[in-house]
Amino acid sequence: MEDELILYSVNAIRSMEVIDISTGCKLGYTKDYKIDINEQKITAILLAGATKGWFSKEDDIEIPWEKVIKIGVDVLLVDASGIELNLDENKI
């Protein structure tokens, strides 16, 4: 039962919340993906960066697909250790 292959659509993954397992911090929601066309696989997920002001924001956060630990029903668990996140401290 553990070895069952579970498939998710790209849109289903996009609506999942991303959580860092090393800190328990909520990182946000998947904004976009980097896809290797030749290999036909996702290479990284992109999260929206924190906003700095009315019209500007930080660069997107890129998390390599290898850092994705588990995909649950409504959450994506990642190991973001070693990745500079620049999260908005006021965000809940």
Residue 19 lies in domain: 11-74
> Which regions of the chain does DSSP assign to beta strands (E)?
17-20, 26-36, 41-47, 61-64, 68-71, 75-78
Report how many domains make up the chain: 1
Q: What is the pLDDT of residues 30-79, one digit of tens each?
A: 888 899 999 988 899 998 776 666 665 567 889 999 999 998 888 999 99
Tell me if 2 is assigned to some domain: no
Tell me if 83 is assigned to some domain: no
| Across 19-27, average pLDDT | 91
Tell me if 51 is assigned to some domain: yes
Write the CATH number for 49.
Answer: 2.30.30.240
